[in-house]
């Protein structure tokens, strides 16, 4: 009986955190900025969730930390009205397999580390537009509104 428990315990320790092992805590994202005329080159974008803040210049890609929280994105370029949007993370399909094979411990590890979640691989930000806030992105939009007030650009469309 003890040997059986030891074998089961050994197997479980090898599959704990399956998504953490397979895809890791980080994810590569591409961001593009557009306006009515097409692609906007040279915009500086700030991506933010509860795990950190990342910066990228358009066109470009960056590696972010996965999270259940929304990703807030703000892009600025001299002479253009900022573009502000957010994107939701989604639960990866392998989490269900992890629950079946790794048990609640493995699923718990993946959820706690963010490895169980994904953002879209391509995020498009429309310059001059503000997406409807949701969840954590609302905080980022409130901070952006405060920055508009400080800069005296409250009447601008994105403010």
Residue 65 has pLDDT above 50, yes or no: yes
Give the 3-state secondary structure of residue 48.
Answer: strand
Instruction: Give the model's pLDDT for residue 13.
Output: 42
Which of 19-33, 53-67, 81-95, 140-154 has the lowest average pLDDT? 140-154
Please give the C-alpha separations between residue 48 and each of 85, 114, 147, 152, in angstroms, as whole numbers.
11, 14, 16, 24
Domains belonging to the chain, first-starting first, are 24-90+117-151 (2.60.40.1120)
- pLDDT greater than 80 at residue 93: no
Q: Using an 8 Å Cβ cutoff, are 24 and 51 in contact? A: no
Please, which residues have CB within 8 angstroms of residue 93's CB and are 6 or more apart in sequence?
none
pLDDT of 53 above 60: yes
The position carrying tokens 């399909």 is: 93
User: What share of the chain has pLDDT > 70, as a percent?
Assistant: 52
Containing 100, the helix (H) or strand (E) segment is helix 94-113
**Lowest-confidence segment of 14-23, 60-69, 84-93 by average pLDDT:** 14-23
- Report d(CA 98, CA 39) in Å as an integer: 40
Average of pLDDT values for 12-39?
70
Tell me, what's the pLDDT at 8? 42
């Amino acid at each position: 009986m003890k040997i059986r428990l030891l074998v089961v315990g050994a197997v479980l320790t090898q599959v704990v955190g399956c998504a953490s092992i397979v895809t890791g805590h980080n994810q590569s994202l591409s961001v593009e900025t557009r306006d009515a005329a097409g692609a906007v080159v040279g915009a500086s974008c700030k991506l933010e969730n509860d795990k950190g803040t990342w910066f990228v210049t358009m066109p470009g890609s960056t590696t972010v930390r996965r999270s259940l929280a929304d990703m807030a994105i703000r892009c600025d370029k001299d002479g253009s009205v900022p573009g502000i949007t957010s994107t939701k993370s989604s639960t990866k399909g392998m989490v269900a397999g992890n629950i079946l094979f790794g048990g609640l411990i493995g699923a718990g590890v993946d959820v706690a580390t963010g490895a169980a979640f994904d953002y879209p691989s391509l995020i498009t930000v429309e310059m001059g537009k503000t997406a409807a806030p949701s969840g954590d992105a609302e905080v980022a939009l409130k901070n952006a509104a405060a920055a508009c007030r400080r800069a005296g650009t409250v009447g601008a469309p994105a403010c």
